Structure 1
Amino acid sequence: MDQEMADIEAQASNEEPEAEAAAILKKANRPVTLKFADVVYKVSLSKRGSCHKGTKLEEKLILKGITGIVLPGEMLAMLGPSGSGKTTLLTALGGKLGGKLSGAITYNDRPFSNAIKRNTGFVSQDDVLYPHLTVTETLVFTALLRLPNSLTKEEKTTHAEAVITQLGLTKCKNSIIGGSFLRGVSGGERKRVSIGQEMLINPSLLFLDEPTSGLDSTTAQRIVSTVWEQAKGGRTIVMTIHQPSSRLFYMFDKVLLLSDGNPLYFGKGSEVMDYFSNVGYTPSVAMNPSDFILDLANGVSSYTDFCDNQTIVKQSLVSAYKSNLADKLMAEVQNIDNHLQDGVNDKQFAQWATTWWQQFAVLFRRGVKERKHESFSGLKIGQILVVALLAGLLWWQSDASHLQDQIGLLFFYSGFWGFFPLFQAIFTFPQERRMLEKERSSGMYRLSSYFMSRMVSDLPMELVLPTIFVTITYWMAGLKSTAENFLRTLFVLLFNVLAAQGLGLALGAMVMDQKSATTLGSVIMLSFLLAGGYYVQHVPVFIRWIKYISISHHAYKLLLGSQYKASDTYPCGTSGGVCLVGDYPAIKEVGLDKQVLSAVAMGIMLVGYRLIAYLALMRVGVTGK
């Protein structure tokens, strides 16, 4: 697999195809005029009423009639204080906001559709990337998933290499992305990788949420300059930005200023100071235009008292906007002719750029490369080896005369390899939720291809460690030394691992909170363990039903069957007599019969828990199955 990626990278280093791809990326596929008129967004909040009335719902306006237009080749910057509605509006314009949204949002005078979705890039504020993949691997895998089948694998890779060159990422192309506890590329480089993922599809419309957040002024300048160059290629760019420097501010073609969901200004960035001067607000000293208008959006003016008159300033600016800009802007949005219709209709764009099998193959390779570091970490391997050696020494060469000790080891197998894979699996989907939401909302792949690739890619990594564990402890403990008994024991243990893993996946997918899912998993597994048939043989009738849904019970029963038959004997009594294993009290209660029934129950749990996990994941993301 590493060799395959090396071959891809070597193939992509060909300069001529890279130059061709770079030339293609300079211009938008299909220019898009973005119009939004009187956009209103409401959310319902619960409000506690009087004692006899209880809780009632209250609606809050987040966006209060926002209107604007962005033409191809223009870059719109949305400014405003925290909580002013910038990200909400950006999400609505990007087609990612549901709920009580009203008003008209059109793209070349058409509503949001598959055609627009396939021509739209959306860069979120937080860089959601896999930490162990290199820059090249991240962009190549994204290209293989997002670019259509009209391009060959080599052409997709060439596009990824062209984006790397275009965004100035050549020096770090073979460096890993990194994360909170893993050193990788810098923050600015990570942001450019996020932008590069969207640039791969050569979007006509690009949305960016706070692309300069947390970056120094020089890096922020480089990021915005890169985006500005994309706009000059005929793209329509919309971004939110918190407090840009004056150098950045004058790069914006248009500016939208928001305050508490109200528009205070929409127009050319070069005319913003003249507008506010005309409505009575002029800075007392020369200052950065963005600082000045953000002060106004917060209700702070050099002519007003900071504490008492913030509301008055905001109200006067809202009134000024309605008097001076609102009608003129609405007329412009409604009357401007859109000459960019090109006859491309939604039917020409399939919902998915690639086939199910292509998505599965790429996601499988990406999953193995990303998770092999975690699955085979030195800490995890060391943990398993230490426990295996300790168990082997504690049960060293126990024979049939120590029957209680042997069945104790088998129950330890079922318990340890119930808890361990459960807690490993619980973290799977909560950790990947943001990545899944990001990629699914962009229509990158089907949920089913992601889910199956995740299940299959985890198999070798999840089954190697229990195999090593059994291999060590089985022979040290002196269990039956035939190949048949060993393989049956190993098979049952792996079966147990997969069933417990399925339960962990289901809990993680349903709860999507690591702490809550871990607590719930602990309670469930402890219940299964207590009802497993080892600790308590005489379980009261009213609670006996738990053992039938207990992974530990069925695994323990199958493990006993892998070692013993009812007709086997063991030394008992003081006169050298022997007794039947099937009559041993601790074994008799669990029983050595109905092995097939327990195997079927385990199989149902193995499949059923995964089906529950899949259904729970269907609420994550927005499209497909």
Structure 2
Amino acid sequence: MHLPKYAQNLVTTNMENPSTSANCPVTLKFEDIGYTIKIEGGGGKEQVTEKTVLNGITGAVHPGEVLAILGPSGCGKTTLLTALGGRLGGDLTGSITYNGKPFSNNMNRRTGFVTQDDHFHAHLTVTETLTCTALLRLPNILTEEQKVMHAEAVIKQLGLTKCKNNIMGGPGLRGVSGGERKRVSIGQEMLINPSLLFLDEPTSGLDSTSAQQVVSALCNFAEGERTVLMSIHQPSSRIFYMFHKVLLLSDGNTVYFGKGDATMDYFASIGYSPSVAMNPAEFLLDLANGVHIDDQKSGMPMKQELISLYKTNNDNRLEFETQQDINNKKDGDGNGFSRWNTTWVQQYKVLVKRDLKERRHETFNPLKIIQVLVGSLFIGLISLIYYFSVFWSMMPIFSSITTFPQERLMLTKERSSSMYRLSAYFVARTTSELPMELALPTMFAIITYWMGGLKPTASNFFKTLFSLLYSVLVSQGMGLAIGAAIMHLQSAITLAAILVQMFSLVGGYYNQNVPVFLSWFKYISHNYYTFRLLLASQYESDEMYLCGPNNLRCKVGDFHMIQEMGLGNVGTPIGALAVMIVGYRIIAYVALMRLGRTRKLKSQ
């Protein structure tokens, strides 16, 4: 796969400074990699056992090579790939080096990682998706126009021209095909011209032709002195013979590591060969599962024999080449190397633009507009001010509560690639929602206010609108905080429903005689403060109202609910809601920090 001319010039220029070179060749070596996880047992007793996922995996991949990690489901393919990509924490042992050095910010900038599951913004087109990636991940030595050109070149090279204006799609929304989605996912990583490219099941869900096209493109990409590693479950014969090296795993142990075209010869030399012509990958999977038609042994004894034979077969064991010293001269140590290709402001601008394109479809979908219109008509006919706060307490919460749980996987993937700072993402995500989140309640207020017969003055209307929009900002922040803190959608919605009910009950309308031990709860209820602002937007204590026969008039301030709530000093509810607006968002941000990347490897 060839780069556009200006990108080739960029690579040539950067070779003078290896620390910023986009495709400085990388030799990846891993020795005796081990990884264990803790499993909690059942039976009413807390029993914690350790399971070995990887057990002494050793190998190496050099520039220009494609390594395929094969094995049955659950054998540790994805875990190993994640560890080699610098994205696995926990009890990882062994040594992983990149040109003889540990993982660093420098190496992360030169590494691409394609996850098994493709995560995209559903309403963005192929061009928009790749352009946003280019603007965020390509260095600022390229102009914005050059970054866009780079994205267009990748679209052409990956054969995505016909679908470049199609949306990516998602659940319930038709978009590009599975093969096209996979190529877009790969294209996002190829944009940065990585020296080291990891792919987790890149052919999963593709037909044989599409799978071959993807692997062929990856092999072409490796020819430019790139190092490519992929996990793959059951490739076709044609795909299998494209691999330069093969690593076969069984229950976290190495059964074979070596050249792809020597695989069958190795197993024949130790007494395992198929009796009929068959796909080599199928034969290897049978062996890794402990199944061999022509052998009396099967299951665990056979697996242990294959593992033992590999360990004692020195001819097949890896011999580390002597290129390390040469490669080390090309590779800087990465100390002090910046994590980010772009500035905070650039990241914010790109993310806001992306979020606005995506969110407009969610906010202004017909069902939500109908919901607001119907709600405004009913509340306008009933004319109850408190329902202003109730209606716009629930909608923003349940709308924003899904934001971070739905984007968790995408956020983790993009942050792992150092696309942007968490702060830039968070500020862009929250501010991009404001115009759309405030548009519908404004429409609601325009309809409901005049239908309800409230004071027909501009001053009173804008006071009411301010109170309503202020409440929306609090409710939105509350939804973001709950969603970010729990990250499990069903649990988050359940908690939000409970809090909404409790806040509504103590908000001052349904019950003015709250028990003493619960009276404090109203002071953390945004419904309480919103209701106070809405009352103040319409009434004053000295105003008179009809309160009995014979045109009897009473002061508004003497009404028992008004006395309980209070009309004076609107600064208190404004200040309390301001604290909630900021506080909920701080909680959400701190909760998102848990999703930070884990790249530290335990080296020996």
- The two structures share one fold, judged by TM-score above 0.5: yes
Task: Please state whether the residue corresponding to 2:41 is helix, strand or coil.
Answer: strand
- Residue 592 of structure 1: which of 555, 563, 567 is its match? 567
Aligned-partner Cα distance in 2 for 1:392–1:191: 50
Deviation sequence 1:236-262 (CA, Å, 0-9, x none): 000000000000000000000000001
Deviation at 1:351, TM superposition (A): 1.3
Aligned-partner Cα distance in 1 for 2:164–2:42: 54
Map of 1:356 onto structure 2: 344
Aligned-partner Cα distance in 2 for 1:25–1:248: 30
1:255-266 pair list within 5 angstroms: 255-266=246-257
Deviation at 1:343, TM superposition (A): 4.6
Give aligned-pair identity as a percent.
58
Aligned-partner Cα distance in 2 for 1:171–1:621: 37
Map of 1:381 onto structure 2: 369
- Residue 232 of structure 1: which of 216, 223, 231 is its match? 223
Residues 177 and 417 of structure 1, relative CA distance in 2, 3 Å threshold: same
Contact 2:127-2:164 at 8 Å conserved across structures? yes
Deviation sequence 1:200-226 (CA, Å, 0-9, x none): 110000000000001100000000011
Contact 1:352-1:445 at 8 Å conserved across structures? yes
Contact 1:21-1:162 at 8 Å conserved across structures? no
- Residue 498 of structure 1: which of 465, 470, 473 is its match? 473
Deviation sequence 1:392-447 (CA, Å, 0-9, x none): 2333xxxxxxxxxxxxx111001110011110011010011011000011111110
Deviation at 1:172, TM superposition (A): 1.1
Map of 1:531 onto structure 2: 506
Map of 2:17 onto structure 1: none
Letter of the 2:532 counterpart: K
* Number of equivalenced pairs: 588
Aligned-partner Cα distance in 1 for 2:134–2:178: 22
Letter of the 1:340 counterpart: N
Map of 1:449 onto structure 2: 424
Deviation at 1:24, TM superposition (A): 6.5
Contact 1:28-1:234 at 8 Å conserved across structures? no
Map of 1:461 onto structure 2: 436
- Residue 517 of structure 2: which of 542, 549, 567 is its match? 542
Task: Please state whether the residue corresponding to 2:68 is helix, strand or coil.
Answer: strand
Task: Please state whether the residue corresponding to 2:242 is helix, strand or coil.
Answer: coil
Map of 1:161 onto structure 2: 152
1:38-117 pair list within 5 angstroms: 38-47=32-41, 54-117=45-108
Contact 1:37-1:333 at 8 Å conserved across structures? no
Aligned-partner Cα distance in 2 for 1:623–1:560: 51
Deviation at 1:298, TM superposition (A): 0.4
Aligned-partner Cα distance in 2 for 1:104–1:263: 16
Map of 2:326 onto structure 1: 339
Aligned-partner Cα distance in 1 for 2:130–2:8: 15
Aligned-partner Cα distance in 2 for 1:174–1:36: 42
Residues 28 and 286 of structure 1, relative CA distance in 2, 3 Å threshold: farther
Map of 1:428 onto structure 2: 403
Aligned-partner Cα distance in 2 for 1:336–1:146: 30
Aligned-partner Cα distance in 2 for 1:188–1:389: 47
Contact 1:33-1:338 at 8 Å conserved across structures? no
Deviation sequence 1:530-556 (CA, Å, 0-9, x none): 001111111121110011111111100
Contact 2:22-2:192 at 8 Å conserved across structures? no
Letter of the 2:303 counterpart: K
Task: Please state whether the residue corresponding to 1:106 is helix, strand or coil.
Answer: strand
- Residue 146 of structure 1: which of 94, 119, 137 is its match? 137
Map of 1:303 onto structure 2: 294
1:604-623 pair list within 5 angstroms: 604-622=579-597
Task: Please state whether the residue corresponding to 1:495 is helix, strand or coil.
Answer: helix
Map of 1:402 onto structure 2: none
Task: Please state whether the residue corresponding to 1:333 is helix, strand or coil.
Answer: coil
Structure 2 segments unaligned to the other structure (5+ residues): 13-20, 600-604
Aligned-partner Cα distance in 2 for 1:48–1:537: 48
Task: Please state whether the residue corresponding to 2:370 is helix, strand or coil.
Answer: helix
Task: Please state whether the residue corresponding to 1:340 is helix, strand or coil.
Answer: helix
Aligned-partner Cα distance in 1 for 2:134–2:431: 22
Deviation at 1:40, TM superposition (A): 0.4
- Residue 274 of structure 1: which of 265, 274, 281 is its match? 265
Task: Please state whether the residue corresponding to 1:223 is helix, strand or coil.
Answer: helix
Map of 1:563 onto structure 2: 538
TM-score (normalised: structure 1): 0.91
Task: Please state whether the residue corresponding to 2:595 is helix, strand or coil.
Answer: coil
Structure 1 segments unaligned to the other structure (5+ residues): 1-16, 396-408
Is 1:29 equivalent to 2:23 in the alignment? yes
Aligned-partner Cα distance in 2 for 1:534–1:170: 59
Is 1:573 equivalent to 2:548 in the alignment? yes
Deviation at 1:180, TM superposition (A): 2.1
Task: Please state whether the residue corresponding to 1:177 is helix, strand or coil.
Answer: coil
Deviation at 1:25, TM superposition (A): 8.1
Task: Please state whether the residue corresponding to 2:228 is helix, strand or coil.
Answer: strand
Give the aligned CA root-mean-square deviation in angstroms.
Answer: 1.8
Letter of the 1:499 counterpart: V
Deviation sequence 1:270-303 (CA, Å, 0-9, x none): 1111100111111111111111111000000013
TM-score (normalised: structure 2): 0.95
- Residue 219 of structure 1: which of 207, 210, 213 is its match? 210
Deviation at 1:46, TM superposition (A): 2.1
Map of 1:316 onto structure 2: 305
Aligned-partner Cα distance in 2 for 1:349–1:157: 25
